[in-house]
Amino acid sequence: MPYVIIISLLLLSYTTQSQATLYELDAIHHPVIGSDGMVASQHPVATQVGMDILERGGNAVDAAVAVGFALAVVLPRAGNLGGGGFMLVYDSDTKSTKAINYRESAPAAATRDMYLDDKGVVDSDLFNQSYLSIGVPGTVAGLCHALEQYGTMNLKDVIKPAIKLAKKGFSVTYDLELVLKKYENRLKVSAESKGTFYKQDNYFNHGDILRQPKLAWSLKQIAKKGKKAFYQGAITDRIVSDVAKHGGILSHSDFSNYKVSVTEPVMGSYRGYEIASMPPPSSGGVHLIQMLNILEGYDVGSFGQNSAAAIHLMAESMRLAYADRSKHMGDPKFWDVPVEGLLSKDYANELRSQIKLDTVNISSTILPGQPQDYESEETTHFSVVDKWGNAVSNTYTLNFSFGTGLIAEGTGILLNNEMGDFAAKPGASDAYGLIGGVANAVESHKQPLSSMTPTIVLRDNKPVLITGTPGGSRIITTVLQIISNIIDHNMNIAEATHAPRIHHQWYPDKLYYEHGLNVDTRNVLRSRGHIMEQRAAMGSTQSILIRDGLLLGASDPRRPDGATMGY
């Protein structure tokens, strides 16, 4: 065959393949498309900050760190300097993934019963909304560490856009206008927060410019002096003195002793893909892989996406995993978490044998706690891929929206309420209705258990999906459904993101579903014994799928302002 024909055929097959990916004519949801770099985050301005870094030649970590600092300004409900989180970094040179743990830790003076009143009852305000709810923040240390270890740019350059946004201001979106109104009571407790997020006698409306000069000062300190400014410097002084003035226990040594840890991710496999996710003190990675291991024993794809059969199996897997979560999960420096056992395929076989195809198991051996009907917009995720194939999957948080809602005087920094992720009293539930055991009891220097699940799915050791989400207890099950939609149901990343979600967490014994799950399916599930309850939208994923040499991204439409950009 003449060469020209062979080349034409090859070109034709290449064009057909990439056009099939670009223009899936049968799809009703389409991803953002790029090939050299992509950023997906909860705010367009932060996404643009990341894109600018990539286009200037920065790598995925440079861009991710810039996005992390920018979100602290433009997404104050979850972006942060005063919180903590987890980052997975895939390094294309070494073809390895590392897990950076910059979760908050309990202050040295924290004690197991510090949130119980005289009668031994959990004081919910003290636990979740007080100066005692604040964990030692890890975000600044985490972002600085990632940049030093994996970045190519200097801190000043990646922090510069955030300083400018804080100093000169940015345009308030409809979403920010609404959340500032919604959380007014919490944010007006502190004079600093009130002065930052409210005008003298009025609200910030969409289109208004919000300036945060004190936050700009803190960011400048960090740009000049690095993480020392936050952990052993002027910012530390201001936070410690403000917290002490209000009865909190954060000390200078809590800050100076704070350490980021870098470990291997937890690894699993699912139908030929490798799953890299966050190890304890996040429960996310372990239970994500545990649920995937259970599901791998069924031909989930053949049941059809969001069919009653597929949802039943997912819900029963979720029930089993969340029951294990309540008993086994805590900070591994303080509690022997049986990670290997929970991740083993044999254990998944054992659990699968407990699942009945036509009826539910009942979650009834432990008394439920006092789950509150709480749906928070807390936490945020961003994903970044660069032209060299490096990838970052990062989830960080203040816990509730705006954390405690308290800003430390003179810093512009919102303080987290991450202590609320401990089990204040073993057997009692947290704000998400999750029951925690002694494994997650409060202890000095311990990190509270998390559900954050930044994840990278790989094939032959190369990333194919970078994903993660906020959503409290629903984080792990949301990531599970994104992965199953891609691998089992062959959806594109936009379809996989948009499809209605479900959630089960063992207790309360309910199968939650989103608006959009059809009534016939719900009726079949009800007939199998599921207690069905509609809930508000679950999660806000920021995902990038890598397929046929293209970057295909999607920001979740469930919350306003999410933005994916690629080039």
Annotated active-site positions, please?
379
Interface segment toward ligand GLY; rule CB under 6 A; list 61-69, 288-296, 445-453, 539-547: 445-453
Q: Is 54 helix (H, G, I), strand (E, B) or coil?
A: helix
Residue 188 dihedral angles phi and psi, to the nearest 5°:
-90, 0
By CB under 6 A, what part of segment 472-511 binds ligand GLY?
A: 472
Q: Which of 101, 390, 451, 521 binds ligand GLY (CB under 6 A)?
A: 451
Judged by CB under 6 A, the number of residues near ligand GLY is 8
Which residue number, 261 or 344, has a Cβ lying nearer to ligand GLY?
A: 261
* Residue 417 contacts ligand GLY per CB under 6 A: no
Which residue number, 221 or 397, has a Cβ lying nearer to ligand GLY?
A: 397
Q: Which of 94, 96, 222, 95 is nearest to 154 (CA)?
A: 222
* Residue 453 contacts ligand GLY per CB under 6 A: no
Which residue number, 190 or 469, has a Cβ lying nearer to ligand GLY?
A: 469
Interface segment toward ligand GLY; rule CB under 6 A; list 52-60, 113-121, 450-458, 500-508: 450-458
* Residue 450 contacts ligand GLY per CB under 6 A: yes
Q: Which of 27, 68, 272 is nearest to 162 (CA)?
A: 68
* Residue 326 contacts ligand GLY per CB under 6 A: no
Min dist. Cβ of residue 449 to ligand GLY (A): 8
* Residue 430 contacts ligand GLY per CB under 6 A: no
Quickly list H helices, 23-109.
44-55, 60-74
Binding mask 208-227 for ligand GLY (x = CB under 6 A): --------------------
Q: Which of 181, 196, 216 is nearest to 69 (CA)?
A: 216
CA distance 356 to 507: 19
* Residue 132 contacts ligand GLY per CB under 6 A: no
CA distance 467 to 531: 29
Interface segment toward ligand GLY; rule CB under 6 A; list 240-248, 305-313, 447-455, 457-465: 447-455
CA distance 100 to 268: 18
Q: Which of 399, 411, 447, 564 binds ligand GLY (CB under 6 A)?
A: 399
As given in the structure block, the two tokens for residue 108 are: 């040295």
* Residue 421 contacts ligand GLY per CB under 6 A: yes
Buried b / exposed e over 295-324, threshold 16 CB at 10 Å, is bbbbebeebebbebbbbbbbbbbbbbbbbb
CA distance 59 to 393: 14
Min dist. Cβ of residue 418 to ligand GLY (A): 6
* Residue 541 contacts ligand GLY per CB under 6 A: no
Q: Is 86 helix (H, G, I), strand (E, B) or coil?
A: strand
Q: Which of 101, 130, 293, 379 binds ligand GLY (CB under 6 A)?
A: 379
Which residue number, 92 or 376, has a Cβ lying nearer to ligand GLY?
A: 376
> If you compute the radius of gyration of the chain from its CA atoms, what whole number of angstroms results?
23
Query: Is the link from the previous residue into 463 a cis peptide, with omega within 30 of 0?
Result: no
Burial of 123 (0-12, 13-18, 19+ CB in 10 A): middle
Binding mask 460-479 for ligand GLY (x = CB under 6 A): ------------x-------
Q: Position 57: which residue type?
A: G
Element containing residue 565 per DSSP (H, E): strand 563-566
* Residue 138 contacts ligand GLY per CB under 6 A: no
Residue 372 dihedral angles phi and psi, to the nearest 5°:
-95, 150
Query: Which residue is nearest to ligand GLY, using beta carbons?
Result: 450
* Residue 135 contacts ligand GLY per CB under 6 A: no
Please give the residue ranges that form the binding site for ligand GLY (CB under 6 A): 379, 397, 399, 421, 450-452, 472
